[in-house]
A = this chain, B = another copy of it.
Amino acid sequence: MKIVTTIQEVRETVNAWRAEGLNVGFVPTMGYLHEGHQSLIHKASKENHRVVVSIFINPMQFGKNEDLDSYPRDLERDRQICFSAGADLIFYPSREEMYPEGFSTFVQITGITETLCGKSRPDHFRGVSTVVTKLFHIVKPDRAYFGQKDAQQAAVIKRLVRDLNLDIEIIACKTVREPDGLAKSSRNVYLSKEERAAAAVLRKALTLAENKLVSGERKAAEILQEMKEKICAERLATLDYVEIVDLETLEPVRCIEAPVLVAVAAYIGKTRLIDNFIYENIA
């Protein structure tokens, strides 16, 4: 496994693979890898001849008062996780390599970026779609792997690929969880011991929603109300949103008659966490 910092080196490596007729899987990350990333890399290595992992904390997707400066990093640990999960190349660029002076091009998706996390993070998805477009052009993968934990991000990337005719298969992979149900996230490291225990409330609210759906409840308002109460009952939690939305448009659904995404975002202390599930078993 190689680690490179320039676009030129990625191009040369991938072009050499291509010349041998090998296909390429890609896992874009911001580093501080956990079992969720590990599962993406592992899946990519099973489905492709070669796997590229990018590690880049993308400033463009952080809001002004967000955690860009404190975002956790540990390259040595990341390198070991990539290696053991089956990566062949790590792309670890500097900010200057990705955003040279005079950079002024943005990929913007309207509609689906304005709901859910887009409401409290207005420029976030513009940053995500811009950096992912760049990374897709640099790596030119056949397949790219994203975690379903970031459900809106996965929907945005799928829309981007469809609308801009990128010839890349996007694969959204199952969320990996802690034993108490908390979704794996690099940001979980911010939580104090007390907050860590409280954070399980996100998954508990989702399980509650799932149970109501299984038992036949079809009014979104009823389900959302119980989810809100569950989260607000947790002293350390501050609700950002709970929503039940259409899988493709991400627009709110009132009466559940087709598969939906049930999504939640909440602050646990100062740490913003998200989680979700897709409910498809509509009778």
A159 at the interface (CB under 8 A from B): yes
B109 adjacent to A164 (CB under 8 Å): no
- Copies of this chain, how many? 2
Q: Mark A1-35, 1 if CB is under 8 A from B, else 0.
A: 00000010001000000000000000000000000
- Which of A109, A138, A163 neighbours the largest number of chain B CB atoms within 10 Å of its CB? A163
Task: Kindly identify, within residues 207 to 249 of chain A, every residue whose CB is under 8 Å from any CB belonging to chain B.
Answer: 248-249
A111, B107: Cα distance in complex, Å:
15
Q: Whose C-beta in chain B lies nearest to the C-beta of A10?
A: B165
B167 adjacent to A105 (CB under 8 Å): no
Residues of B within 8 A of A138 (CB): 165
A163 adjacent to B105 (CB under 8 Å): yes
The one of B100, B103, B133, B163 that contacts A104, using a Cβ cutoff of 8 Å: B163
B109 adjacent to A137 (CB under 8 Å): no
| Cβ of A235 to closest chain B Cβ, rounded Å | 40
| Cβ of A10 to closest chain B Cβ, rounded Å | 10
Task: Kindly identify, within residues 144 to 162 of chain A, every residue whose CB is under 8 Å from any CB belonging to chain B.
Answer: 159-160, 162
A112 adjacent to B104 (CB under 8 Å): yes
A80, B154: Cα distance in complex, Å:
45
The one of B108, B109, B140, B167 that contacts A11, using a Cβ cutoff of 8 Å: B167
Residues of B within 8 A of A133 (CB): 164
A110, B108: Cα distance in complex, Å:
12
A130, B165: Cα distance in complex, Å:
11
A166 at the interface (CB under 8 A from B): yes
| Cβ of A260 to closest chain B Cβ, rounded Å | 18
A106 at the interface (CB under 8 A from B): yes
Task: Kindly identify, within residues 89 to 107 of chain A, every residue whose CB is under 8 Å from any CB belonging to chain B.
Answer: 100, 102-107
Q: Mark A164-187, 1 if CB is under 8 A from B, else 0.
A: 111100000000000000000000
Residues of B within 8 A of A166 (CB): 137
Pairs A–B under 8 Å by Cβ, sample size 24: A7-B165, A11-B167, A102-B248, A104-B109, A104-B159, A105-B107, A105-B108, A105-B109, A105-B110, A105-B159, A105-B160, A105-B163, A106-B107, A106-B108, A106-B109, A107-B164, A130-B164, A133-B164, A134-B163, A134-B165, A137-B164, A137-B165, A137-B166, A140-B167
Q: Which residues of A contact B (CB under 8 A)?
A: 7, 11, 100, 102-112, 129-130, 133-134, 137-138, 140, 159-160, 162-167, 248-249
Which 6 pairs across A and B sit closest by C-beta, in order of nearness? A105-B163, A137-B165, A104-B110, A104-B111, A105-B109, A106-B108
